[in-house]
Structure 1
Amino acid sequence: MRPIIGITTYELPASWGVWRDLPTTLVPSDYAAAVTLAGGRAVLLPPDDRDTDVLRMLDGLLFSGGPDISPGLYGAEPGIHTVTHPERDEAELLLLRAALDRDLPVLGVCRGMQLLVAAAGGALHQHLPDVLGHERHRPAPAVYGRHDAVFTPGSRIAGLMGEDVTINCFHHQGVADPGKLVVTGRAEDGLPEAVEDLDRSFVLGVQWHPEVGRDKRIFGALVAAAAERS
């Protein structure tokens, strides 16, 4: 059987067919397609803060991108550019902490990496242009920024990426303090782009969007780690 990978989702108004602005549970299909192409079975997880029983049926967990996490998670007040979905934070943090306790393989993408950082006692820059003086990590609406990242030799992410180190980013927040995690990749301006938890079997966060290119290196690693548990 294929390893079952849970993917966290958004709850947002959406329109299709005759329906307009209908409250909808969704996630870009790139995530599910990337998991499927890597050999996993994708299962979408709506936000649910009642319990973590679903983890008993999962072999791995993917925290997808989306709106900013609540600055209260790292002891800060929201800035003027920060847009949050607190109900999603609560549900995903519950899942994340339980998954870490079980040593379930975890991949965090963009917002998902930032959630990993907050759970590890770290903190974020709430608006990168104010810190870096440029907008190359989110150059325009629906336009990805491209960077050549530098990865720590011997790290998991360095082994996965190999010689192709070009990444595609779309984020206006970034890691200020990784907490208990280890930064293993940075953009050319020094901003953390990958974090890992060296105390667990597979916990990886990437600030870029590997799902867009169906990157089998990243998703294949998650599925392979999940297969060891299934």
Structure 2
Amino acid sequence: MRPVIGYIGAPDGDRLVGALTSLIIRLSGGKPARLRRPPDDNSPRIDGLILLGGLDIHPSRYNAEMEVESRFDLQRDELELAWLAVAFARSVPVMGICRGLQMLNVKAGGDLHQRLDPEITRNWPSGPIGYALFRKPVDILPDTFLASVFGPGALRVNSLHRRAVRNIAPGFTAAACGEDGGVQAIEAQEGSLRFGVQFHPELLLHRADMRRLFRRFVQACRTRMQADN
């Protein structure tokens, strides 16, 4: 049987991202389930959870005052936190992508930088073509789950985030860092597989290493499913 992988994306738009995520879940051996409502008695029983990119997380979610005006989606914040509570309670594997990494960190007790140093982002492209083609190096740290997928050392990724992890949540550790030393990935130190990346592997499916990342995640979800049966 295929593990059911629930995923949450932007409620409007981002159809391509949703379609690509659903496709890679299927190709990796999972059954995708788009989660649009908070969990209740009629919700699917998920074996894994993926949180995709999107608007910024409201600072109140990590007990901070607003430092920078931005666009928020409070309903999505609540939706993701509710499903993360289910995933944590049942030890379900979690993958966070960009905003999803940040929400995973917030849910577990960490917080965020609300704005990166302008010197870091000064030369980043802003248009859709530039965004699609932009790549930057990150350093995958040894003895991590990501190192077992990509190998330790340099990895070029598509990362243009404007907010980032400040304090890593208790029980988690950095799994990748940028050239500026900023956190580019986190993962849980023990228990079920829970990790987040500050780049977009769902938009790099032409690369074998990114497809391998999803396969490894779905394998962990299948193992969790089998433990329940």
Normalised by the length of structure 1, the TM-score is 0.85
Q: Paired residue for 1:197? A: 188
- State the alpha-carbon separation in 2 of the partners of residues 112 and 8 from structure 1: 9
- State the alpha-carbon separation in 2 of the partners of residues 52 and 205 from structure 1: 28
Return closer, same or farther for 1:51/1:78 CA change in 2, 3 Å cut-off.
farther
Q: Paired residue for 1:141? A: 127
Contact 1:185–1:192 (CA under 8 A) maintained in structure 2: yes
Displacement of 1:28:
3.1
Matched, 1:71 2:62: no
Q: Partner of 2:34: helix, strand, or coil? A: strand
Contact 1:138–1:172 (CA under 8 A) maintained in structure 2: no
- Amino acid of the structure 2 residue aligned with 1:28: G
Matched, 1:33 2:33: no
Displacement of 1:53:
6.0
The one-character-per-residue Cα deviations of 1:53-73 (angstroms, maximum 9, x if unpaired) are 636x21111111110011111
- Amino acid of the structure 2 residue aligned with 1:161: F
Q: Partner of 2:196: helix, strand, or coil? A: strand
Displacement of 1:5:
0.7
Return closer, same or farther for 1:140/1:25 CA change in 2, 3 Å cut-off.
closer
**Larger strand percent:** 1
- Amino acid of the structure 2 residue aligned with 1:183: A
Paired residues for 1:105-144 under 5 Å: 105-130=93-118, 133-135=119-121, 139-142=125-128, 143-144=131-132
Q: Paired residue for 1:7? A: 7
Question: Identical aligned pairs, as a percentage?
Answer: 33
Match for 1:87 among 75, 83, 86?
75
Normalised by the length of structure 2, the TM-score is 0.85
The one-character-per-residue Cα deviations of 1:153-192 (angstroms, maximum 9, x if unpaired) are 1111111112672111131111111121211111111111
Return closer, same or farther for 1:222/1:118 CA change in 2, 3 Å cut-off.
same
Contact 1:52–1:94 (CA under 8 A) maintained in structure 2: no
Q: Paired residue for 1:188? A: 179
Matched, 1:218 2:213: yes
Matched, 1:209 2:205: no
- Amino acid of the structure 2 residue aligned with 1:154: D
Deviates more, 1:78-87 or 1:102-111: 78-87
- Structure 2: which 5+ residue stretches go unaligned? none
Q: Name the count of aligned residue pairs.
A: 216
Return closer, same or farther for 1:137/1:170 CA change in 2, 3 Å cut-off.
farther
- State the alpha-carbon separation in 1 of the partners of residues 125 and 108 from structure 2: 29
Deviates more, 1:80-89 or 1:67-76: 80-89
Return closer, same or farther for 1:138/1:49 CA change in 2, 3 Å cut-off.
farther
Return closer, same or farther for 1:52/1:223 CA change in 2, 3 Å cut-off.
farther
Q: Partner of 1:107: helix, strand, or coil? A: strand
Displacement of 1:25:
8.8
Paired residues for 1:36-47 under 5 Å: 36-46=26-36
**Larger helix percent:** 2
Q: Partner of 1:77: helix, strand, or coil? A: coil
Match for 2:223 among 209, 224, 228?
228
- Amino acid of the structure 2 residue aligned with 1:119: K
Q: Partner of 2:201: helix, strand, or coil? A: coil
Q: Paired residue for 1:18? A: none
Return closer, same or farther for 1:11/1:190 CA change in 2, 3 Å cut-off.
same
